[in-house]
Amino acid sequence: MKVRWGVLALVGVVLAGCGAGTGSEPDGISPPGYAREPGVPRVRTAADMPELPFEQYEFSSEDDKRLGRARDRLQRQCMRGFGFEDFPLDPDTWSGTRMASAFKTTLVAVDPYGTLDLDRARRWGYGLDPDRAEALEADFLPKGRKVTRRERQVLFGPEAGEGGRSVVNGRKVPKGGCSGEAARHTEADVANPTRMWGYVPRRTERIAKAVAKDERLRRVFRDWSRCVEDRGYKRYANPVQASTDKAWTKGRDDGNTHRTERELGTAVADVECNRGLNVTGVWWAVTAEKQRADLRRDKSRYEAVREDQDRLRAAVREALGETG
């Protein structure tokens, strides 16, 4: 299943119950009849999650990484054209504060259900696994050196710094600098970039709101809420309320939790009730139904999005030297 960062909190609401652990199902919890109907998949782990209809019209995380590498190459080529021969492939353009803030956001968004893996819930509650956080940080941080002020003015354009020049080493700096030039190059054959990047996320958001109001999802959340409460923990309306309870992070500013006994117990109950009641399976079935209906209503626009995505992927292959 492709994971789209920052799509909707509602996606995280239900995926939070889809742990990737291998622990056995808890005794005494079984899916109600409505969670076992035809078309409702039995989801105990992330591996059980079928692909949603919209996923064929979305960029995968691998697509995003490849696009980033392609633009980095084009950007460096442009910078070398201005005389910056040693410009790094993955330059560090961040300030320390902005980097820390962005990384913290990435940790929260990167995996909407991984931290609620049953085994991890037992150990880390709703907090971050330090080993995983360290690996993510290493992957997230730029590998190249910091850019100089002079380089920055060419990289992002003269508007990026005071006293920036529109002509450097006899060449006019392109609009948005070499960074903007690289982005335009990869999208040169795309018919409608705004539609390509925005249409499916907007439809996903609208459908997620409709899913949240669906009585089938409301019903499984009510059952989940009672299940968690019956195990001796606070009554929450849904899993996202449990995972974002301010009690877990009160007094901390590092994005982690205190991992108190109550937090750990709540996290375990959350995951066990989700897995046992098949909350994620119900969410998937309702979401897939509404996505399929939306695709039928506006098939031509979705196909236009996919055609533009294919054009972008072709440009990425060319920039990475994978064609011809």
Number of helices and strands (H, E) in the chain?
13, 2
Residue 164 CA neighbour count, 13 Å, CB half: 21
CB of 207 closer than 8 Å to CB of 291: yes
SS (H, E, C) 166-218: CEECCEECCCCHHHHHHHHHHCCCCCCHHHHHHHHHHHHHHHHHHHHHCHHHH
Supply the DSSP symbol for 159.
Answer: G
Q: 18 falls in which pLDDT band (50, 70, 90)? A: very low
pLDDT recorded at residue 7: 35
pTM: 0.82
Supply the DSSP symbol for 115.
Answer: G
Higher pLDDT, 46 or 235: 235
Supply the DSSP symbol for 287.
Answer: H
Q: What is the mean pLDDT of residues 182-206?
A: 97
List pLDDT tens digits, range 163-189.
Answer: 556 888 889 999 999 999 999 999 999
311: its two tokens: 């054009």
> Of the candidates 206, 288, 277, 245, which has an alpha carbon nearest to the alpha carbon of residue 10?
206
DSSP string, 286-306: HHHHHHHHHHHHTHHHHHHHH
List pLDDT tens digits, range 63-110.
Answer: 999 999 999 999 999 999 999 999 999 999 876 555 555 545 444 443
pLDDT recorded at residue 324: 62
pLDDT recorded at residue 16: 40
Report whether pLDDT(200) > 70: yes
Report whether pLDDT(12) > 70: no
How many residues comprise the chain? 324
Report whether pLDDT(10) > 90: no
Q: What is the mean pLDDT of residues 206-234?
A: 95
Report whether pLDDT(13) > 60: no
Q: Across the strands, what pairs with 301?
A: none
List pLDDT tens digits, range 125-166.
Answer: 988 888 877 787 778 788 999 999 999 999 999 865 445 568
Report whether pLDDT(14) > 50: no
Q: 117 falls in which pLDDT band (50, 70, 90)? A: confident
Q: How far is CA 76 from CA 31, 172, 275, in A?
A: 54, 16, 48
What is the percent of the chain with per-residue pLDDT over 90, rounded to a whole number? 65
Q: What is the mean pLDDT of residues 267-281?
A: 92
List pLDDT tens digits, range 23-40.
Answer: 445 446 889 999 999 999
pLDDT recorded at residue 167: 87
Q: 5 falls in which pLDDT band (50, 70, 90)? A: very low
CB of 64 closer than 8 Å to CB of 310: no
pLDDT recorded at residue 98: 52
Q: 235 falls in which pLDDT band (50, 70, 90)? A: very high
